[in-house]
Structure 1
Amino acid sequence: MNTLSRPKLAVAVKGWPRLSETFIAQELVALEEAGYELELWSLRFPTDTKTHPLHDRLKAKVHYLPEYLHQEPLRVAKGLLRSMMRRGFWAACGTWLKDLRRDRTRNRVRRFGQACVLATELNPDIDALYAHFMHTPASVARYAAILRGMPWSVSAHAKDIWTSPEWEKREKLQAATHGAEFLATCTGVGAEHLAGLADRPDRVELIYHGLDLTRFPEPPATRDHSGPVNFLSVGRLVEKKGFDRLIAALALLPDDLDWRWEHIGGGGSDAKFRKQAEAAGVADRIIWRGACDQPEVIQSMRASDVFVLPSRIAESGDRDGLPNVLMEAASQKLCLLSTPVSAIPEFIDDGVHGVLSSDEPALLASAMESLARDPAKRAELADAAYGRLTSHFLMQPGIAKLDLRLRALV
């Protein structure tokens, strides 16, 4: 235990750094500033070519586990052999084999190999393990924690909750199956679902990420309403973000409305969306920015009129939680247009802090047109969203709750 009576933590993450996961970077930086000593263990190597300034503020040493076991066979073999000498090996192996029987995948094998490496290479001063995301990172942390005989905990978000099998979520929340000491999750809807799977409901804690406003400039005092109406979206080009529906809606906007749409974000479907825009006849009004760092995102938010995020539930069950980008847009008093999916209504009351529309293209287009033609309404909604953010969704209360939970680990 360190001198500030806070556990020294090893944090398991999917990848580091990631442009789309500023909420993780924000939390880890805040924990360091609160006095925590952290080690970061990433299951994957970075793929983004840019980083946010927030990533540079993290002081923790970053370690990369073997992304694929065959790429580092000696390291994996050493981890396995040393793990076999640990008292917790057979318990960890039994837990993993039970999981493997229900999930016969290479990914499940890889998780145990990574856990053996983690347990072997972990600094002996580490007091507890903490994972971000309930699926793969939590599995690696869980197996490693059993091997090392130490407590572990997890923060669950969106995809990991809604696409993980129920048996796995349940067992990660049960003391009898080496479950997490606690699980933090960032949405009320997620907390309710997971509490129903836990052996004790108090094992699950609702902790909104919130926003650290010290990282953002004051919102612009005024917006220029001359020229075209500027719609802005920020998000990966994946099904759950609903950008295919948005492009279809753009094609339905009336001819007399002068508009532009700017998209920021990466993803593997860029060509598909560009092709859809060409076919819909709206490509000449769209600006594709690709992945951007946070200063670039904020600059675009300050220059836009309406932020549009038509989230939906993907066929796989994947969905957003409460996208931090909505709060970031609210920090710049940018009018919000989204959908009543998952935890978005926990931040936006329809007609009060923004507009929640169906993602059906005709209805989405109608909502976009209405806001485009009413600058006064946009300003009213944006002011209310800013008030909602500053009164209920700042980062600091969540970090205080997380601090109490982490302190209780040891």
Structure 2
Amino acid sequence: MRVLQTPVRFAPSIGGVETYVHSLSRALVEAGHEVSVVCASPDVDVPALETVDGIEVHRLRTTGRIANTDLTPGLPVALLRELRRADVVHTHLPTPWSADVSAFLGLVADRPVVVTYHNDIVGTGLADRVAKLYNRTVLQATLRIADRILITQPAYLQRSPHLKPFAEKVRVVSNGVDTDLFAPGDVPPARQRELGFDPDGRNCFFLSVLDSFHEYKGLDVLLAALAGDEWSEPPRLVVGGEGDAREGYENRAAELGIADRVRFAGRLSTAELVDAYNAADVFVLPSTDGDQEGFGLVLLEALSCGVPVVCTDVVGVADDVRAHDLGVVVEPGDEGALAAAIEDVLGETFDAAAARSLCQEQYSWRSKAAEIVDIYEEIGVGTETTDRSEP
């Protein structure tokens, strides 16, 4: 089958949705399917048309950005061209415009539409009012058009009021992880120092886009936790990621008196990222908002490298972390509990093989792609007719 993916951005842009679409598309190609992607052109020097890992990528000129959504006037024409060849259109929320136009044109072209609903659209101030208006109107139309709505964790159906009217169309497919790429490995001391880790000390790692749209990842809570005085040996923190909020976080670390123990490493290449996971003694993701945190893919990447994790109970993998003793799960926003959890993990022996085995058996992208292909087929993709009225 031929799958048309329409994320707002695609690799080399970084982010949870970007990683999801790239990894899923690559797994679909490896399974023998054709995949094309139509997306906005990122702020890097890349061709408008290229093939990435067997995926045909069409990048469109942008005229600006509202919130976290790139405006691409050429999107409707590009989609209509691609829809002539596609068997199914697979789009992604929480980015308006690209998802909404994709769903509407999929309906016009009589192509099945699948939406992966990564998380709710929320905001603050004026953006919050705009988000609420969108959620009551356009979002409802997009979800009504969709033949299937994918979510990455079961709890999201109960947490999101926007999904409940469409529960019969919702299917749960968790995120996956590239277990070949994210694998245990030795990192020489010189390389550890280059990335900001202390080869002779205790090291925490945090990874996120550092902008206002990702405040819910909880870096401010982590910095406050590290500033506490209950540590037996204060750990070092390496922060991966870039964004316009980075300077604010750097200033906050200085105000807390921990600037000498926090290294802002900036955007990491793929090779640097794998080494960073393996150089860490614990990976920490203290997400604070279950409405915005769709899953927490970075936790799977750390676990696949055999690294224990500390997270909050709003992430999609929290139950497995508890059930398989892969780290500690705490309540969101609790600085003291977060510090105690990190201290506990740093002081215990970790079964890296168990973490690795879980990722290989339950979270490989190969298995996730197979689950999604089954859903495509459930709505008639690959057959001569598609009943779009099926619940």
Superposition pairs of residues 169-188 of structure 1, within 5 angstroms:
169-174=139-144, 179-188=145-154
| Cα pair distance change 1:399/1:308, threshold 3 Å | same
> What is the rounded CA distance, in whole Å, between the counterparts of 1:64 and 1:106 in structure 2?
20
Number of aligned residues = 350
When the two structures are superposed, what TM-score results if normalisation uses the length of structure 1? 0.75
In the TM superposition, what is the alpha-carbon distance from 1:9 to its structure 2 partner? 2.6
Q: Which residue of 2 aligns with 1:356?
A: 329
1:272 to 222, 245, 248: 248
> What is the rounded CA distance, in whole Å, between the counterparts of 1:218 and 1:210 in structure 2?
17
What amino acid sits opposite 2:365 in the alignment?
Answer: M
What amino acid sits opposite 2:135 in the alignment?
Answer: P
In the TM superposition, what is the alpha-carbon distance from 1:297 to its structure 2 partner? 1.0
Which secondary structure does the structure 1 equivalent of 2:143 belong to? Answer: coil
| Cα pair distance change 1:328/1:48, threshold 3 Å | farther
> What is the rounded CA distance, in whole Å, between the counterparts of 1:141 and 1:229 in structure 2?
47
The yes-or-no answer on 1:68 pairing with 2:71 is no
> What is the rounded CA distance, in whole Å, between the counterparts of 1:254 and 1:406 in structure 2?
52
Q: Which residue of 2 aligns with 1:303?
A: 279
Structure with the higher fraction of residues in helix conformation = 1
Whether the aligned pair in 2 keeps the contact of 1:191 and 1:206 (CA below 8 Å) is: no
What amino acid sits opposite 1:10 in the alignment?
Answer: L
> What is the rounded CA distance, in whole Å, between the counterparts of 2:100 and 2:306 in structure 1?
40
1:213 to 179, 182, 198: 179
Superposition pairs of residues 83-98 of structure 1, within 5 angstroms:
none
In the TM superposition, what is the alpha-carbon distance from 1:322 to its structure 2 partner? 1.5
Whether the aligned pair in 2 keeps the contact of 1:186 and 1:206 (CA below 8 Å) is: yes
Which secondary structure does the structure 2 equivalent of 1:126 belong to? Answer: coil
In the TM superposition, what is the alpha-carbon distance from 1:156 to its structure 2 partner? 1.7
Superposition pairs of residues 5-404 of structure 1, within 5 angstroms:
6=1, 8-17=2-11, 18-20=13-15, 21-42=18-39, 44-47=40-43, 57-68=52-63, 114-122=74-82, 124-133=84-93, 135-136=95-96, 137-160=98-121, 165-174=135-144, 179-191=145-157, 193=160, 196-198=164-166, 201=168, 203-218=169-184, 227-237=200-210, 238-254=214-230, 257-313=233-289, 318-349=291-322, 352-358=325-331, 359-372=333-346, 374-376=347-349, 379-380=350-351, 382-404=352-374
In the TM superposition, what is the alpha-carbon distance from 1:257 to its structure 2 partner? 1.1
In the TM superposition, what is the alpha-carbon distance from 1:258 to its structure 2 partner? 4.2
Q: Which residue of 2 aligns with 1:96?
A: none
Compare 137-146 and 342-351 and name the one that shifted more.
Answer: 342-351
> What is the rounded CA distance, in whole Å, between the counterparts of 2:231 and 2:286 in structure 1?
22
What amino acid sits opposite 1:363 in the alignment?
Answer: A
Q: Over residues 199-234 of structure 1, what are the superposed CA-to-partner deviations in whole Å (9 max), with x where a residue is unaligned?
A: x61x2211112223122334569x999721111111
Which secondary structure does the structure 1 equivalent of 2:180 belong to? Answer: helix
Q: Over residues 287-330 of structure 1, what are the superposed CA-to-partner deviations in whole Å (9 max), with x where a residue is unaligned?
A: 111111222111011111111111111xxx75212211101100
> What is the rounded CA distance, in whole Å, between the counterparts of 1:233 and 1:331 in structure 2?
16
Identity of aligned residues (%): 22
Alignment RMSD (CA, Å): 3.4
| Cα pair distance change 1:134/1:248, threshold 3 Å | closer
What amino acid sits opposite 1:392 in the alignment?
Answer: Q
Whether the aligned pair in 1 keeps the contact of 2:281 and 2:307 (CA below 8 Å) is: yes
| Cα pair distance change 1:181/1:35, threshold 3 Å | same
In the TM superposition, what is the alpha-carbon distance from 1:185 to its structure 2 partner? 2.0
| Cα pair distance change 1:68/1:106, threshold 3 Å | farther
In the TM superposition, what is the alpha-carbon distance from 1:107 to its structure 2 partner? 11
In the TM superposition, what is the alpha-carbon distance from 1:355 to its structure 2 partner? 0.3
In the TM superposition, what is the alpha-carbon distance from 1:282 to its structure 2 partner? 0.6
Which secondary structure does the structure 2 equivalent of 1:257 belong to? Answer: coil
| Cα pair distance change 1:207/1:321, threshold 3 Å | same
Q: Which residue of 2 aligns with 1:93?
A: none
| Cα pair distance change 1:148/1:383, threshold 3 Å | same
Q: Provide structure 2 residue ranges, at least 5 long, that are not aligned to the other structure.
A: 124-130, 193-197, 384-391
When the two structures are superposed, what TM-score results if normalisation uses the length of structure 2? 0.78
Which secondary structure does the structure 2 equivalent of 1:19 belong to? Answer: coil
Whether the aligned pair in 2 keeps the contact of 1:161 and 1:190 (CA below 8 Å) is: no
What amino acid sits opposite 1:37 in the alignment?
Answer: E
| Cα pair distance change 1:370/1:214, threshold 3 Å | closer
Q: Which residue of 1 aligns with 2:387?
A: none
Q: Over residues 363-387 of structure 1, what are the superposed CA-to-partner deviations in whole Å (9 max), with x where a residue is unaligned?
A: 2222222333x142xx14x454334
In the TM superposition, what is the alpha-carbon distance from 1:62 to its structure 2 partner? 2.0
Superposition misfits of 4+ residues, deviation over 6 angstroms: 105-108, 161-164, 223-226
Which secondary structure does the structure 2 equivalent of 1:287 belong to? Answer: strand
> What is the rounded CA distance, in whole Å, between the counterparts of 1:161 and 1:155 in structure 2?
17
Whether the aligned pair in 1 keeps the contact of 2:107 and 2:113 (CA below 8 Å) is: no
> What is the rounded CA distance, in whole Å, between the counterparts of 1:267 and 1:364 in structure 2?
24
